[in-house]
Structure 1
Amino acid sequence: MLERIAGNEELKSSIRRMLEGRRLTHSVLLVGEAGLGAGFAARCVAADYLYPQGGAPAEALLRGECCRAVAKAGKRDSGQIETGIVREAISVTGMGSGGRYLVGQVTAMRSEIFNTSLSAEGRAVLLYHVERMNEESANALLKVMEEPPEGVLFLLTADSLAGVLPTIRSRCISFAVAPVSPEDCARYCTAQGVGAKDAALYSALFDGHIGTVLAAARDEARREQVDRALALAKAAAARDSYAAAVLLAAYEKDKVGASALLADFRAVAAAGLRGSSHSPVEGETARKALGAADAAMQQIGAQVNPKIVLSVLAAKFRTF
C-alpha cells in the first residue's frame, strides 16, 4: 500500500526497508502541513504492517474504516472504542474544542490495546494531528508509548514538528511528508477520478497538496468556495474594490466562512506569485493580494469584527 502514496520516494523506501526487516520502530510520526496527505500515508503504513498481502482489510483501512476512540468533553470516564470494519486498527482524532484530544479517548485506546487479543500481525493505532494534544492527554499517551504491548504500532501525524510536544517527539522516529509537483499531483488526482481540467487547476492553485485538491474536486461547496476565491482574485487584478466588496459582504457575519474564503484567496495569490497561469493575479499584484489576505486572516483570528476586516480588505483592492 505504500505505493499508493504519491511521490515521497525516500519516505517510502525507508518505511519499506523497516517493514521487510520487521525493524519498524513502535512509534512513527509523519509530519506534513494540511492537505499533503499525512493521514493517508499513515493508513498506508498501517495497512502494510497489518496486512502485508493486501486484500479487502487493507483497502478498508485505507478508507479509514477502523475502530475509533471516542469520549465526551469533561467526562474522563466516558471513553470507549467504537468498533469498525478493521478491528486491528484504532483511530484517534481530537474531539474537544478546536480538535483538542480528550483524555478519555487516550485511556480508552490504551485499555483496548492491552486487553484485546486479535489474530492479526499486530495492532495499529492512528493518532491524527497530535499537535492538538495538551499536556494531560500527552501524558496519558506516554504511559503506553513507553512500554507498548507486543506488536502494537503507533502512527502519529502532525501539521508541523514544532507543534508536537517534546515528550511525544522524543519517542518517535519522524518522517516529513512532502508535496509533489503540481504536474504529478494532477496526474495522481486524475487517476483517482478527478476530471483532467479540475485536476490541473486545483493542483496548480494548491501547489501539489493532494488532499486539498481531492477535497476541492469532490465537494461541491468546496468547489464553489474556490470559484469565489478566483473571482476575488480577478477583482484584485482589475483593482475593482466594488466587486470585492460585493463578494465579501456575504461573509460579514460568518467568521469561519470568511477565514476559509481568505485561505483559498491566499492560495490563488500564492499560485500567481509562483507564476501559475491558472491564477488571475501575477507579479506585484499577486504579492500585494497575498499580503492583504494574510493580514485579514490574522485580524479575524485575533477576534476583530469580520465586517470591519473585510471592508478594509475590499478598499485595498484599489491599490493592487
Structure 2
Amino acid sequence: MMLDRLEGNQALKEEVGRMLAARRLSHSLLLVGEEGLGAGFAARCIAADYLYPAGGPAAEALLRGECCRAVAKAGDRSSGQVETGIVREAISVEGMGSGGRYLVGQVTAMRSEIFNTSLSAEGRAVLLYHAEKMNGESANALLKVMEEPPEGVLFVLTAQSLAGVLPTIRSRCVSFALAPVPAEDCAAFCAGQGVPKKEAARLSDLFEGRIGSVLAAAQDPARRRQLEEAEALARAAAAGDYYAASVLLARYERDKAGAVVLLRDLCAYAAAGLRGGKVSPLQGQAAAGTARLAGQAIWQLERQVNVKIVLQVFAASL
C-alpha cells in the first residue's frame, strides 16, 4: 500500500488498510494533525490506495500532488473551475482566499465536476486540505455533496485540529489523528532523504519527530532562514535583550503571516528547552515564559490585531 510509506502511525495504517481491503472505506475521512505531521501526504496515500490498489504511475503522480485542482477568484462566485491535472480521478481543494480561507466558488466547482462528469472504473477522490479554513458558506456548499455523494467518490479532509473543523463537517467524517514519530526514527528517516545526520538529529529534536517540518527546514533555504531568525530571537529572549528582539521583530511589522511563522518557531525552541533539549538557547523558566508570551502574541495576530503593536508589546515583555 502507498499508505505504508507514511512513517509511524501504525494504528491508522492498519485500520484504513483493513477498510480498503474490504472496500468498506467510509465516503468521508478526516485526518487531523499539526503542521509537519504529514496529514496531506497521508491523504494522498489513502486516495492513491483507493483509486489504484495495484499502484503504478498514476498512484505515484497522485502522491506528488499532480491531480486536478479546484480554483476560484475571491469576490467572484462564478469564477470557480477545476483545472485538469495528470491524475484526472482526484481533485484537490485548498483555500485561496485571505488567510487561506476556502472560496465558495472552489467548492461549487468541485461539486459540479464530480456530479456532471462520468466516473472512471477507479472512482473519484476529493482531497480537501486544511478543512479548518472553511467558513459557513463554503461548508454548506460542501455539505450538499457530502450528505449524498455520487457513488464511488471518496472525500479525504485534513485539519490541524479537530476543534477547528465546523461540527457539521466533522460529524460526517470518520476521524483519525496523526502523531509524531520518535525523534530517533524521524532523524533516521530524514537522513535517508539526504539530510546530514547531525542536522537531522538536531531538527528532529527541535520539531519532536515532525518529519515534514524537519525536511522543510533542511531542504528549503527560505524556511531555513526563518528558523535561523527564530533561533536568534530565542537567544535574545534567553538573554533578556530587548533591543535585539525589537530590531529583529521590526522586520515583521508589515508581514503578519511571517510574524506568525516566526513566533511558532520560537515556541518550538521554547518547547525544546522545556524538555531540556540542547538545541534550544531557552531553558527552564525563560523557556516557559517565552512560550506563554509567544502563544498569546500568535492568538492576537490570528485575530487581526495590529501586527506592529503586538510585536512591540511582545518584545517589551521578554
Q: For 2:254 and 2:53, how far apart are their aligned partners in 1?
A: 51
Matched, 1:151 2:152: yes
Q: How far has the Cα of 1:180 moved from its partner? A: 1.5
CA contact (8 A) 1:272 1:279 kept: yes
Q: How far has the Cα of 1:22 moved from its partner? A: 0.8
User: AA paired with 1:290?
Assistant: A
Matched, 1:90 2:129: no
**Identity %, equivalent residues:** 72
Cross-structure match for 2:113: 112
User: AA paired with 2:285?
Assistant: E
Mean CA deviation greater in 127-136 or 39-48: 127-136
Cross-structure match for 1:267: 268
Mean CA deviation greater in 218-227 or 4-13: 218-227
Cross-structure match for 2:52: 51
Q: For 1:140 and 1:153, how far apart are their aligned partners in 2?
A: 17
Cross-structure match for 2:42: 41
Partner SS for 2:25: coil
Alignment of 1:1-320 (within 5 A): 1-317=2-318
Runs of at least 5 residues in structure 1 that lack an aligned partner in the other structure: none
Runs of at least 5 residues in structure 2 that lack an aligned partner in the other structure: none
Partner SS for 1:194: coil
Q: For 2:53 and 2:134, how far apart are their aligned partners in 1?
A: 31
User: AA paired with 1:163?
Assistant: G
Q: How far has the Cα of 1:249 moved from its partner? A: 3.3
Q: For 2:61 and 2:317, how far apart are their aligned partners in 1?
A: 49
**TM-score, normalised to structure 2's length?**
0.93
Q: For 1:121 and 1:147, how far apart are their aligned partners in 2?
A: 19
Mean CA deviation greater in 204-213 or 272-281: 204-213
Q: How far has the Cα of 1:86 moved from its partner? A: 0.5
User: AA paired with 1:273?
Assistant: L
Structure 1 segments of 4+ aligned residues over 6 angstroms from their partners: none
CA 1:104 to 1:315, structure 2 compared with 1: closer, same or farther past 3 Å? Answer: closer
Partner SS for 2:72: strand
CA contact (8 A) 1:88 1:120 kept: no
Q: How far has the Cα of 1:40 moved from its partner? A: 0.8
Q: For 2:253 and 2:71, how far apart are their aligned partners in 1?
A: 35
CA 1:168 to 1:279, structure 2 compared with 1: closer, same or farther past 3 Å? Answer: same
Partner SS for 1:136: helix
Q: For 1:214 and 1:98, how far apart are their aligned partners in 2?
A: 24
CA 1:170 to 1:301, structure 2 compared with 1: closer, same or farther past 3 Å? Answer: closer
Q: How far has the Cα of 1:118 moved from its partner? A: 4.4
User: AA paired with 1:112?
Assistant: E
CA 1:161 to 1:308, structure 2 compared with 1: closer, same or farther past 3 Å? Answer: closer
CA contact (8 A) 1:129 1:158 kept: yes
User: AA paired with 2:221?
Assistant: E
User: AA paired with 1:176?
Assistant: A
**TM-score, normalised to structure 1's length?**
0.92
CA 1:244 to 1:74, structure 2 compared with 1: closer, same or farther past 3 Å? Answer: closer
CA 1:80 to 1:253, structure 2 compared with 1: closer, same or farther past 3 Å? Answer: closer
Q: For 1:162 and 1:94, how far apart are their aligned partners in 2?
A: 18
Cα offsets for 1:140-179 (capped at 9, x unmatched): 2122112211211111111111122222122111111112
